[in-house]
Each structure stands twice: as C-alpha cells, then as structure tokens.
Amino acid sequence: MDKVKHSIGLIRKAEKLALTYNDFGFHLAFSGGKDSQVIYELAKMAGVKFKAYFYKTSVDPRELLSFIRSNYPDVEWVRPKMTMYQLIYKKGMLPLRQARFCCEFLKERNGVNAVVITGITADESAKRAKRKEQEMSCVKGQDKVFIHPILNWTKAEVIQFLNERNIEKCSLYEIQERIGCVGCPMSPKTMRRDFRNMPNFKKAYINTVQKLIDEKGKYSEFPSAEDVVDWWASGMSRKQWLANKLQYTIEYTEQSSEY
C-alpha cells in the first residue's frame, strides 16, 4: 500500500528532528485504539527510535486498560495529577463540547519539547481535515512538534493494515466503532451508550455533580444530580432539556390523576 510507504517515509524524515529534542527519539501518543496501534506498528517498521505513552484519564474503559497491559507492556503510562472527577469539581462544571477542558489538562499538556507522533485521521472531523502532516505548536512556552503519519488514511485502510499484519484489536471494537473516555462530551450518543454499558462511570459522575450542587451551589435549576448527568448526555441545551423535563412531568402527573 503506497500510503504505508509514505507514512514510514514521513516518520523516518522526522527522526533527526526528534533526536534533537530527546535521546529516545519520538514521543508516540498511544491510546490503545486502532489508529494508535497503526502508528505504533509504523514506527517499528520505520526502524526509528521512539517511546510510546498512554495518557490515563481515570475514565478509561476497563477492557482498554487490560488490553494495553497485555498487548503493549512497553508502553509507559502517564497518570494525571487529578482524576476527571477531581478536575470537574475544581472547574465547577462538567466538560462541554464548547468547553472541553478535560483533554487540555489530561492529554494535551503531555509531549512538550518533543516530536509527537499521533494517530489522528482527516475523516474524523472537519477540523482535523484541515490539519497538516507536520505541524509546530507551543504549549506554555515549550515546543511541541506533531507528525500525523496516517492523517490521510481512511477507516477501511486502518482496519486493512491491522488485519494484514494480524494485529489484535481491543475487544470493545466488537460492540462499538470507537473507543475513548467514558463521558466524552464530543459525542452524546456515545456517552449514553457507555453509561448504559458501564453504569459505574455514570454513578461516579452523578456523585461528583452532587458535590458541585451541595458544596458549590452549581446546577441549582435541575431537580437532581442524576438529571444533570442525563441532560449532559442528551446533547440538548439546558433550556431545551429542562423544558422537555417539565412537559414530561406535567403529562405524567395528568395521566396519573386519571387513574
């Protein structure tokens, strides 16, 4: 596949720059998902020096953590200074699509003063489609160079590559297309699915919201902490969700009075 050769060539060309930052070479951002498995394999095929890092967020599916431990024992785990729940409490709010502070704190602060290999692809979003294969960034005054070797790969090409090399994928892919943080605000549909399949995470979010209500007076317009989390996973605006909740309550009360 020509794209494999192109990706390997891109990584090899950037190794000299990576070594000027760190003796270990590239900082490879590894999530345990399909895309990160591909860049890990490509780095090995390229024969370059690199160190792979997994940014643990505290809201990672159990199956994913077990998969990484078993299949990628050389990956170094980076644990956050605060859990997602502690971060929410400190910020006084749940992360939203327009205010996604969780990624900035739990992931994006890593890999500074390094050349970072990522597994992002252009077909994931319109924003990522505008990215370039090589990019320079600055995080709190420190360099962060990005290499996106599979930026122009399709989802089918990612799967084809892994299948051809007999690379095992996380078992969660048997029931879902993507794997990420449980409670990611970027996809309310995915959040609702995860909360159904992994209710312990939803309970932990509810407990955190309850602390915000009790100790910081947040979300006072909602009937309960569980309602706040249900709104968060709905994809609706607060005003729309609360209006729907009120209408449902009125209809339920009227129906109950008829019996």
Greatest alpha-carbon pair distance for the chain in Å reads 77
pLDDT in tens, 12-34: 999 999 999 999 999 999 999 99
pLDDT in tens, 176-201: 888 989 999 988 899 999 999 999 99
Write the burial class of residue 145 (CB in 10 Å: 0-12 exposed, 13-18 middle, 19+ buried).
buried
Exposure string of 78-110, with b = 16+ CB inside 10 Å and e = fewer, is bebeebbbebbbeeebbbeeeeeebbebbbbbb
pLDDT in tens, 132-145: 999 988 777 778 89
pLDDT in tens, 33-45: 999 999 999 999 9
Domain boundaries, the chain: 2-169, 188-257
Q: Compute φ and ψ for 137, nearest 5 degrees.
A: -135, 170
**With bands split at pLDDT 50, 70 and 90, how would you rate the model's confidence at 52?**
very high
Residues 6+ apart with CB under 8 A from 21: 113, 114, 115, 143, 145
Q: Is the pTM of this model over 0.75?
A: yes
What pLDDT is stored for residue 142 in this prediction?
79
> Can you identify the CATH homologous superfamily of domain 2-169?
HUPs (3.40.50.620)
